[in-house]
Amino acid sequence: MSERYTLYQYDSCPYCARVRRFLAEAGLDLPMKDTLRDPEARRELIAGGGSPQVPCLRIERDGRVQWLYESLDIIDYLRGRAAASAQS
């Protein structure tokens, strides 16, 4: 995948666990930031994405940054990107 990702999340969040479970099953290893333990990560999330809600996937492509909220949307997005990169 020609994009860089960071997953903002925390351990006790069930929606974050859903995304982490998908990542493990798909064999995807993404950098993660814990917004409960790391106040700077929480500030980044609010400043960039506009909300402290987790999980949120930060997507960086060609110098542009997108913040994707909602666990099921994150999973759908990553599944689509993984499939696309497997075909190329």
Q: Which residues bind ligand GSH (CB under 6 A)?
A: 13-15, 52-55, 70-72
Q: Report the nearest approach of ligand GSH to the CB of residue 88 (Å).
A: 29
Q: Is 9 left (phi over 0), alpha (psi -120 to 50) or beta?
A: beta
In this complex, which beta carbon is closest to ligand GSH, that of residue 51 or of residue 85?
51
In this complex, which beta carbon is closest to ligand GSH, that of residue 41 or of residue 54?
54
In this complex, which beta carbon is closest to ligand GSH, that of residue 39 or of residue 63?
39
Q: Report the nearest approach of ligand GSH to the CB of residue 38 (Å).
A: 13
Q: Report the nearest approach of ligand GSH to the CB of residue 25 (Å).
A: 17
Q: Please name the residues in contact with 78: beta carbons below 8 A apart, sequence gap of 6 or more.
A: 5, 22, 23, 26, 28, 57
